[in-house]
Structure 1
Amino acid sequence: MRAQFEDVHWTGHESFLVRTFDLPRFTVPWHFHPEPELTLILEGSGDRCVGDHLESFRAGDLVLLAGNLPHYWHSHAHAPSSKARPSRERARAVVVHLREENFGRSLLSLPEAVSWKKLLERARRGLAFEGRTASHAAKDLERLPDKEGSHQLLALLGILQTLCDGTADTRPLAGEHYLPACDDHAADRVRRVYQFIYAHLADPIGLDDLARAAGMSSAAFCRYCKRVTGRTPTRLLSELRITQACKLLTDTSQSVSEIAFASGFQSISNFNRVFQQIKATSPQTFRRQHGRTH
């Protein structure tokens, strides 16, 4: 359940991709990618996880994610249907990916695009849209796959503007300190550290490993990490490992001890202590409150 890097397959020279999914269930693994993502759930229900935030979703769920923010949508298991009345529930969604070089250094550098740039900056924690904003944007987003070329681009920009104007209907998802708030240069460096951690959560990770990922000395990285993330490297690593453990507690039937070692903890006692510090509850209680039936 370590966060996997997902290669968004671009088909040509487009600046964004619009895709529709019609599946029996959402089963995408815990993953991340550099491209910002806008997702509208048309049908289905289940659990949505963004960073360290876990909650239920249903049809109408509308979420904007900045690049490199780990996430998944997992459908609830359906009760077995009878032959007379087969289950017709599906997992349907419209998903938009924005190419970083176009919706970053190009379009968003225009002075007229400042509100869209701020929107994507706020999406570093993930943004859920509700109320009239979600309703209006969802109608346009559902029609977006039927448009082409400049008509599709103009429609997408209109959707982004609707989201910009709906501040009162916006709710951040991941915790305030889950991802650092820093300038672009610092963000790129910290992203490399996050990507290294996501790829090696179950492995022993030392301070020197994190410093190498950041391209810094160990002493310099300690000071840097505290300044840009508000946390020590040890605390940062522990929080991401506990987030990993929460996914395993909710999504698998593995024992708590198996989950502790799969999340990179060297002892059960240390795992239980750190879990209690970060989540203010025990792993067993967390599983009872959030776990699925397997």
Structure 2
Amino acid sequence: MKSNLPTLKIIEPSFGSSFTLTKYDINYNSHFWHYHPEIELIYVNGGAGKRQVGSHISYYTNGDLTLIGSNLPHCGFTDETTGNKNEIVIQMKPDFLGEHFFEIPEMRNIKDLLQQAKSGITFGGKTKRKIGKKIAKMEDKTPFERLLSIIEIFNELELATEDATVLNAEGFRMEMHVQDNERINSIFNYVKDHFKEPIRLEEIAEKVSMTVPSFCRYFKKITHKTFTKFVNDYRLVHACKLLAEKPISISAIAFESGFNNFSHFNKTFKEFTGKNASEYRYELKSFLE
């Protein structure tokens, strides 16, 4: 029987190092829902794909740079269609430099960054390009040089407020020791597996043994979104992905993304992206070229 719970990943530091740095030259197809106590900095070098962190879902282009806090559930960022050159993942425990290291005055800003990362942060613009190059160079450095680099990178990310986007609302937390997380993650995985089909509120509420009103209140309290908006966002991001990757008609994309009403798709897509699907595809194609 397939489990809908997020999988706990066990991560061991590299030999002679307090954190791990892993480069994937072949796409790391890890789209299962998982979490781990380690903080994770992900750099996708080029390409485009789906970003799902907590209750946030979006589509990235021209690579990605995202910082994910401890125990924040997420899916992998690349698959066989991403088109990236490589992916570098840096992972460390929150206390990888000692229990009180980030308490010293010089580290206060980095401590604030790692606290904010519990909601997930993505970085764009010049920061993505600049930090991406620094991460790529870390592969050839000694363990000591890597350690200095990661502290320097964290410091620069904390200062890059204009290029930073927090992915989940303040107060959003899905730490795995909380009793209700099994329920919310079961819901997330159900949407991930069934978003192309109609999903009735009665159906999902029954799945988690709740009445519809109780379920709606519960979901909004945990995610700061209504369930309908969460499902629509998931479908719209999938539509963005198809617009970039598949030369099929927009109406076919709408139906393949779970929208049975083309007019409703057009309306919600424009509300979500600020432009209609044809404009979005044209601008994305021009940008990628």
Quote the Cα distance in structure 2 between the aligned partners of 1:140 and 1:273: 40
Gap change, CA 1:117 and 1:28, over 3 Å in 2: farther
Instruction: Tell me which residue corresponds to 1:281.
Output: 275
Q: Please list the CA deviations of residues 106-137 of structure 1 after superposition, one character each: whole Å capped at 9, or x if unmatched.
A: 76994545755852642634332776898579
Cα deviation, residue 242, structure 1: 0.8
Identity %: 19
Instruction: Tell me which residue corresponds to 1:82.
Output: none
Instruction: Count the aligned residue pairs.
Output: 259
Quote the Cα distance in structure 2 between the aligned partners of 1:116 and 1:181: 18
Q: Secondary structure at the match of 1:46?
A: coil
- TM-score between the two structures when normalised by the length of structure 1: 0.65
- Residue type at the aligned position of 1:142: K
Gap change, CA 1:256 and 1:286, over 3 Å in 2: same
Instruction: Tell me which residue corresponds to 1:88.
Output: none
For the pair 1:69 / 2:60, whether they are aligned, the reply is no
Q: Please list the CA deviations of residues 75-105 of structure 1 after superposition, one character each: whole Å capped at 9, or x if unmatched.
A: 37xxxxxxxxxxxxxx24432345xxxx36x
After superposition, residues 1-294 of structure 1 pair within 5 angstroms as 17-22=20-25, 33-35=34-36, 37-40=40-43, 45-47=46-48, 49-50=50-51, 51-57=57-63, 62-66=65-69, 67-70=72-75, 71-72=77-78, 74-75=82-83, 91-98=85-92, 103=93, 110-113=99-102, 115-116=110-111, 118-119=113-114, 121-122=116-117, 124-128=119-123, 139=134, 142-144=137-139, 151=143, 155-156=146-147, 158-166=148-156, 167-170=158-161, 171-173=163-165, 181-182=172-173, 184=175, 185=178, 189-211=183-205, 216-291=210-285
Q: Please list the CA deviations of residues 169-215 of structure 1 after superposition, one character each: whole Å capped at 9, or x if unmatched.
A: 253347555x9723633666544432321222112212234435656
| Structure 1, unpaired ranges of 5+ | 77-90
Instruction: Tell me which residue corresponds to 1:86.
Output: none
**Matched-pair contact (CA < 8 Å) for 1:48–1:72:** yes
**Matched-pair contact (CA < 8 Å) for 1:272–1:282:** yes
| Structure 2, unpaired ranges of 5+ | 52-56, 104-109
- TM-score between the two structures when normalised by the length of structure 2: 0.66
Gap change, CA 1:132 and 1:45, over 3 Å in 2: closer
